[in-house]
Structure 1
Amino acid sequence: MQDKDKENNRRKPKKNTRTITVIAVVVFLVMLTGAGLGFLTASIHTMPSLKGEIRPAVSSQIFDANGKLITTIHSVENRLPVSINKIPKDLQNAFIAAEDTRFYQHSGVDPRGILRAVWSNMTDRGISEGGSTITQQLARNALLSQEQTIKRKVQEAFLSLQIERQYSKNEILEMYMNQIYFGQGAYGVQTAAQIYFGKNVEDLNLAECAMIAGIPKSPNYYSPSSNLKAAKERQSIVLDQMVKYGYIDSTTAAKARNTEIKLATRPITNTTTASYFTDYIMQLLIEKYGADAVYKDGLKVYTTLDLEMQAAAEHAMNQLPTTRTENGIKQPQGALVAIDPHTGHIKAMVGGRGNDQFNRAVLAERQPGSAFKPFVYLAAIESGLTPASIIDDSPISFGSWSPMNYDQKFRGPVTMRTALEQSLNVVAVKLAQQVGIDKALYYAQQMGISTLVLKGDTNDRNLSMSLGGLTRGVTPLEIASAYGVLANSGIRVEPTSIIKIVDRNGKVIEQTTPKEKVVVNERSAYLLTDMMRGVINNGTGTGAYFGRPAAGKTGTTSDYKDAWFVGFTPDLVAAVWMGYDSPGYLGGVTGGTIPATIWRSFMSDVAAKYVARDFVRPSGIVAARVSTKDGLLLNDPTNQDGRNEIFVEGTQPNKLSTAAATATKDGKDGKLGKDKDGKDIKLDETGATDETLDTDEKTPPPPPVKTDKNPVTPLAPPPPPKPNDPIKKN
């Protein structure tokens, strides 16, 4: 009996604890349910009515970094409503296949569609399905904002249910197709058909229908006027969806893919200041806030652009020659983008010349040629090599490929500094082989190049990348930003174009701060910068010299399709590219000629905005006099093969040179260059015009990468580059 009492006493506390826990859980659930119901009630009561008043539209304004008005985005919508009876069935089906496959089955919100979209996006990299129904998109675009909040999602769902009760499916589809934004200021399918194809919506063929249906996913990115390649890729996805859901067969889809897309000719208009930049800003705004916010909500957008620098950039680009005109656009085309390397602020942007909307500064992926070599040289420096390291410029073969220098000559043993100044292809290939392909690609990625291809049958993990032979190429914006890392002592700052955005009530809704990351050892960055100064002072880029400390690199492809000059001062980096939009050859134009001249013109015109100063020399950099024949120490100051060289402390040579001095060459054997004061000097070696491997050259896998023996520890041990994420902007 006593044992039973003890057992009952032990059980009572446990029962009491369970009872209290159950009560607490019930109370919590009641409170949570009440809060949820309260939130739902508040959301429903504050959502707009289907018959409610709409705020009057207010134009948005874009300002430069100094508060000067660049342009006003007018609030008048370019919209031509059209009856559902005039919209081709192919276009209706294309929208349903691309946006809402269960449109005729759901009642406004589709839980099954959401789950299907989640699964499809997980398996198809997020490009196939959308979770919102057409009705939800109509509610959002017509009555709500684009803000990503739970409240808006709740309101969107309830409005969708209301819309489904009040209107038929055909009426909803008609309203949606007349409401949605298609880029280029076009609202509705009729306006889109006229702007893009110069025809009425009822006259669209299947290929055009699929292309138009693909645009709303990202109106500015998939606009065929600004990015036909991306529009074609999206068109193919829409056609696949139409096949998948039984609207067309695969044969019809294949025929539509092969149908030539003929875009309407844009009317000739006066090119306004910074037109490509303002289009770029609008794309960013529409992607983030929606077209209605840009065209109706009276935003004040304060950008990083400097209108005076922009004018200098546009003036410099007027030096481009014109050899032909295509669709009203002068050819060859060009681009210039300038960035403050310390803040990432885009100070000037020219995306081309003409009235097209293809922003070559941001979207054009072009072969960089020798402008890619600095990433190889950086990898070499981080592996313990120095500007005085000797590399043998002599014949070498990899299978059927034997890299050659521009002038088809070999110079024998040369220093790394000389090889970079004279853009020697053979040396760049040998360096990539010695330090490792992945290491050079790693630094290119870390410094901001996102277009590298690292997997698949055709990729960039081969020696041709050392000469700029890439699968896709680079954009002017990204290579300018990457060079900016050197100007900023190894610190990468993401490029940005918007400082802050203020709404119509004066509330700041977005404000940016520089996003910084140390990606390169500051001493390595300084050594490479000093070597690249020689490109302008004595090398292939003497045409860029403008009287201030500056560093840079020329770039030209061996078929003369692309020519570059990318360079920087301590406070400004700029990239200049020129080439043809369609296949065409520049006829001998190299990066050291017209692009370098344009760069010099721009930098000279904006020089007054910056105090003239030299690059900051970090601690741990030492100097020594070395022989250019073997890279070892020289005690004889009269030795003609000697030069003063800089090193990261610990990497300087400690043995005396045994190379005999050579006689000084007369002036006839040298090539004119520039010293630090801009005076003409004689070069001891022939200055080779910068040139690269044809990007179509196939390079077999290189020999195994040699182990790095580096007395200087890099900032971070570079693993093989990560596969780059799909980019949205090109």
Structure 2
Amino acid sequence: MYTPRRRAKHAKKKGPLHSLRVLIVFLFVVAAGLGFGYIFAAYQSLPPVSNNMRPAVSSQVFDSHGRLITTLHSDQNRLPIDINKVPANLQNAFIAAEDNRFYEHIGIDPIGILRAIVTNLTNRGIAQGGSTITQQLAKNAFLSQEQTLKRKVQEAMLALEIEHKYSKKEILEMYMNQIYFGQGAYGIQTAAKTYFDRDVNDLTLAQCAMLAGLPKSPNYYSPFNNLEEAKSRKNVVLDQMAKYGYITSDQAAEAKNADLHLSHNKQTAENSESESFIDYVSQLVAAKYGDDALYKEGLKIYTTLDTEKQHAAVQAMKNLPDNYTDKNGLTQPQGALVSIDPRNGHILAMVGGRGQDSFNRASMAVRQPGSAFKPFVYMTALQDDMTPDSTMEDKKVTYGGWSPQNAEKSYSGTMTLRQALAHSVNTIAVQLADKVGTSKIINNAKKMGITTLVEKGSTNDNNLAMALGGLTRGVIPLEMASAYGTFANKGVHVKPVAITKILDRNGNVIEDNSSGKGEETRVLSEREAYEMTSMLEAVIESGTGTAAAIGQPAAGKTGTTDDNKDAWFVGYTPAIVTAVWVGDDTGAHSLGEIYGGTVPARIWHDYMVQAASSDSSDFSVPAGMQKASRASETKSTASEKKSTKSTTTKEKSKQDTPQGKQQAARNNKNQ
């Protein structure tokens, strides 16, 4: 039994705890009030569900002079279709890919949200966002694409209201008629016509899965832009359909291997000289702001494209030879050209192929560079206290059983690094890589914008075959042009830039880089960059790239891979750097008598005599240095000419076999 004193003492102890509880309850009530107030305010500004679409405005793309290049149309290309005409496979494919609990939830799905959080945190299975099909319809039909809490609250409210007013079938019908599928196609009927040239009710299971996979990223997963990724996404959808019991595992396996029968009469959004560049810019904008913003929000996109240079690039690429027509109706070989201002990274011109398809080889094709990769080796040697006048011996060398060979399988003895690079001597490139270390070469290439190098795994690029361009994956033309721009820009790499400014439909600035440049990285000293330029000038003056000479200061490098499957010329003046690639799309066919010093060099020449005509300035000489004199230093002896065959017509780099590459890798690891 408590005494009065004890009770008083007990009451005194409980005083602070009681106050804390009151404070917590008070704060909870305030927070709840604010939350309900916020939700009520969001509800008050909801658009009526009967208003089924925000007015769409086409976006416009302008060149570097502010001239209109093209208009990106939005939902004019839409053919609505009744849900009863949509095959079950297509309906189920969308549900499996986007919202497998569609027929169970009430518009929002707490279970799906929790599952998505767990999936994304544990990185198991396919990444999920948690938004239901009804929420996506609400967002696309009634709301903007801004990522705010208010918009998410309104999206959920509208989803609940839509579910109350419409049946599940009606919601699914509106959703499939609303969404964007790429290539200017809105709605499933238009998409079926665009990609397969058939009506929705005639689609195969494989085609249904392909369409259902597109809305996640229509530009990226379009089979016209990126066929392999589109097939991979299609297979994910088929796996989801099998997982949820819409099809059997055997049906999924059969559909994965089925022919898609893509339309050969596909129409792109814009059929102009600037198509590749427009596609590149569109992907950048869509990745950052979404497809709806790109095609429906009336953006004004100002770019770095120079239409005069773009026209010159298109005309130069018409010099591609016509070897044969492949099974897809494309003329082979294909090619790519990309041109950049090395001082600010601005992309001036871009051609991604012959214009027969929408695959942008300038920004997406990953191809073997051959000897065009050698400058990364030589620049690393310059950083290792060597100079263009340093000498090495062209001789037989062996690394772990691998002996790199020159084109004519002969050797020319002692020569300078300038001579070795000018005539693309393989043995010296490998000796240099062994001397300076392959990891340093890879690091330099990465600093200069090459993103495709493989550094880990059982097959990687950290081996001596890399010195001759024998890479695990390859390189991208856009990145090669950007990398060579480091030499032209006195050792500073500038990341490529395609967009200078974007305005919204009301003229408000969304982003502005009009007075700036791409991200800069100092890679070489000015002295080292000038030494590299003087060596690469020798390539054009007396080496493998004489066909590229344009009558003004220029530097560059040829590249040809084993069996002549890829041929390159990458070169620059002080103000323009340009990469040209020629090759068979499949990589299975030889180019015949095409080498880096022939067709690519001539295409580069034809473009640059137009593009660089207004600026014939010489490369600036760093303080404390004298302008390099190359006439006597690059003059080949008779034996050197025999070795390289003055390889303007035969620069062919017999760099590596798979066995040789593996041996070089093993040897390098043992050093």
TM-score, normalization by structure 2: 0.89
Secondary structure (helix, strand or coil) at the match of 1:70 reads strand
Between the aligned partners of 1:262 and 1:391, the Cα distance in structure 2 is 56
2:544 alignment partner in structure 1: 540
What is the 5 A alignment of 1:186-265?
A: 186-265=185-264
CA-to-aligned-CA distance 1:230-268 (integer Å, 9 cap, x gap): 111212222232333333343332222221222111268
CA-to-aligned-CA distance 1:329-360 (integer Å, 9 cap, x gap): 33221111111112211111111113411111
Between the aligned partners of 1:593 and 1:460, the Cα distance in structure 2 is 28
What is the 5 A alignment of 1:411-450?
A: 411-450=412-451
Secondary structure (helix, strand or coil) at the match of 1:292 reads helix
User: Structure 1: which amino acid aligns with 2:536?
Assistant: M
For residue 32 of structure 1, report the CA deviation from its aligned partner. 4.4
1:357 paired with 2:358, answer yes
How has the CA–CA distance of structure 1 residues 669 and 401 changed in structure 2, closer, same or farther, with 3 Å as cutoff?
A: closer
Secondary structure (helix, strand or coil) at the match of 2:128 reads coil
Secondary structure (helix, strand or coil) at the match of 2:219 reads coil
1:311 paired with 2:311, answer yes
How has the CA–CA distance of structure 1 residues 185 and 457 changed in structure 2, closer, same or farther, with 3 Å as cutoff?
A: same
Between the aligned partners of 1:332 and 1:77, the Cα distance in structure 2 is 36
Which 10-residue stretch deviates more, 582-591 or 289-298? 289-298
User: Structure 1: which amino acid aligns with 2:42?
Assistant: S
Between the aligned partners of 1:288 and 1:438, the Cα distance in structure 2 is 34
CA contact (8 A) 1:493 1:517 kept: yes
How has the CA–CA distance of structure 1 residues 380 and 24 changed in structure 2, closer, same or farther, with 3 Å as cutoff?
A: farther
1:521 paired with 2:524, answer yes
For residue 564 of structure 1, report the CA deviation from its aligned partner. 0.7
2:290 alignment partner in structure 1: 290
1:82 paired with 2:81, answer yes
2:572 alignment partner in structure 1: 568
CA contact (8 A) 1:63 1:303 kept: yes
How has the CA–CA distance of structure 1 residues 607 and 215 changed in structure 2, closer, same or farther, with 3 Å as cutoff?
A: same
For residue 91 of structure 1, report the CA deviation from its aligned partner. 2.1
For residue 669 of structure 1, report the CA deviation from its aligned partner. 7.3
Which 10-residue stretch deviates more, 529-538 or 561-570? 529-538
2:404 alignment partner in structure 1: 403
CA-to-aligned-CA distance 1:152-186 (integer Å, 9 cap, x gap): 22221211122222222222222212211110011
CA contact (8 A) 1:104 1:169 kept: yes
Between the aligned partners of 1:670 and 1:465, the Cα distance in structure 2 is 24
CA contact (8 A) 1:128 1:237 kept: no
What is the 5 A alignment of 1:86-485?
A: 86-124=85-123, 127-266=126-265, 271-326=271-326, 327-399=328-400, 401-485=402-486
User: Structure 2: which amino acid aligns with 1:213?
Assistant: A
Between the aligned partners of 1:53 and 1:172, the Cα distance in structure 2 is 12
CA contact (8 A) 2:464 2:668 kept: no
CA contact (8 A) 1:463 1:699 kept: no
CA-to-aligned-CA distance 1:414-460 (integer Å, 9 cap, x gap): 32222211111222222222222222111112211112222333332
Between the aligned partners of 2:385 and 2:667, the Cα distance in structure 1 is 20
For residue 120 of structure 1, report the CA deviation from its aligned partner. 2.6
Between the aligned partners of 2:494 and 2:34, the Cα distance in structure 1 is 43
What is the 5 A alignment of 1:1-80?
A: 31-52=30-51, 54-80=53-79
CA contact (8 A) 2:492 2:523 kept: yes
Decide which of 651, 667, 670 is 1:703's aligned counterpart.
667
Between the aligned partners of 1:171 and 1:591, the Cα distance in structure 2 is 59
User: Structure 2: which amino acid aligns with 1:189?
Assistant: I
Q: Which ranges of structure 2 fall in alignment gaps of 5 or more residues?
A: none
Secondary structure (helix, strand or coil) at the match of 2:218 reads coil
CA-to-aligned-CA distance 1:563-608 (integer Å, 9 cap, x gap): 1111112221111111122332211211111111111111110223
How has the CA–CA distance of structure 1 residues 179 and 412 changed in structure 2, closer, same or farther, with 3 Å as cutoff?
A: same
Between the aligned partners of 2:127 and 2:429, the Cα distance in structure 1 is 42
1:650 alignment partner in structure 2: none
Q: Which ranges of structure 1 fall in alignment gaps of 5 or more residues?
A: 629-639, 645-663, 672-682, 708-730
Between the aligned partners of 1:623 and 1:357, the Cα distance in structure 2 is 45
1:496 alignment partner in structure 2: 497
CA-to-aligned-CA distance 1:450-471 (integer Å, 9 cap, x gap): 1222233333222222211222
What is the 5 A alignment of 1:503-514?
A: 503-512=504-513, 513-514=516-517
Secondary structure (helix, strand or coil) at the match of 2:393 reads strand
For residue 685 of structure 1, report the CA deviation from its aligned partner. 7.7
How has the CA–CA distance of structure 1 residues 43 and 278 changed in structure 2, closer, same or farther, with 3 Å as cutoff?
A: same
Secondary structure (helix, strand or coil) at the match of 1:379 reads helix
User: Structure 2: which amino acid aligns with 1:478?
Assistant: E
Which 10-residue stretch deviates more, 107-116 or 227-236? 107-116
CA contact (8 A) 2:408 2:644 kept: no
Secondary structure (helix, strand or coil) at the match of 1:336 reads strand
Secondary structure (helix, strand or coil) at the match of 1:79 reads coil
1:606 alignment partner in structure 2: 611
How has the CA–CA distance of structure 1 residues 156 and 339 changed in structure 2, closer, same or farther, with 3 Å as cutoff?
A: same
User: Structure 1: which amino acid aligns with 2:542?
Assistant: N
1:487 alignment partner in structure 2: 488
User: Structure 2: which amino acid aligns with 1:347?
Assistant: L
User: Structure 1: which amino acid aligns with 2:505?
Assistant: R
CA contact (8 A) 1:343 1:514 kept: yes
User: Structure 1: which amino acid aligns with 2:216?
Assistant: K
CA contact (8 A) 1:337 1:575 kept: yes
CA contact (8 A) 1:276 1:351 kept: yes
1:727 alignment partner in structure 2: none
CA contact (8 A) 2:52 2:142 kept: no
Aligned residues: CA RMSD:
3.2
For residue 114 of structure 1, report the CA deviation from its aligned partner. 2.5
How has the CA–CA distance of structure 1 residues 90 and 53 changed in structure 2, closer, same or farther, with 3 Å as cutoff?
A: closer
Secondary structure (helix, strand or coil) at the match of 2:89 reads helix
TM-score, normalization by structure 1: 0.82
What is the 5 A alignment of 1:688-727?
A: 688=647, 689-692=650-653, 693=655, 696-697=658-659, 698-700=661-663, 701-704=665-668
Which 10-residue stretch deviates more, 35-44 or 440-449? 35-44
Identity across the alignment (%)? 55
CA contact (8 A) 1:483 1:573 kept: yes
For residue 53 of structure 1, report the CA deviation from its aligned partner. 6.7
How has the CA–CA distance of structure 1 residues 400 and 206 changed in structure 2, closer, same or farther, with 3 Å as cutoff?
A: farther
1:687 alignment partner in structure 2: 646
How has the CA–CA distance of structure 1 residues 506 and 665 changed in structure 2, closer, same or farther, with 3 Å as cutoff?
A: closer
User: Structure 2: which amino acid aligns with 1:442?
Assistant: N
Between the aligned partners of 2:312 and 2:479, the Cα distance in structure 1 is 21
User: Structure 1: which amino acid aligns with 2:520?
Assistant: K
1:647 alignment partner in structure 2: none
How many equivalent pairs are there? 653
Between the aligned partners of 1:609 and 1:118, the Cα distance in structure 2 is 57
What is the 5 A alignment of 1:551-566?
A: 551-566=555-570
User: Structure 1: which amino acid aligns with 2:603?
Assistant: I
For residue 394 of structure 1, report the CA deviation from its aligned partner. 1.7
Between the aligned partners of 2:606 and 2:321, the Cα distance in structure 1 is 15
For residue 413 of structure 1, report the CA deviation from its aligned partner. 2.8
CA-to-aligned-CA distance 1:187-234 (integer Å, 9 cap, x gap): 122221221112222222222222221111110111011211111121
For residue 123 of structure 1, report the CA deviation from its aligned partner. 4.3
Between the aligned partners of 2:240 and 2:404, the Cα distance in structure 1 is 46
How has the CA–CA distance of structure 1 residues 23 and 215 changed in structure 2, closer, same or farther, with 3 Å as cutoff?
A: same
Secondary structure (helix, strand or coil) at the match of 1:78 reads coil
Secondary structure (helix, strand or coil) at the match of 2:610 reads helix
CA contact (8 A) 1:207 1:259 kept: yes
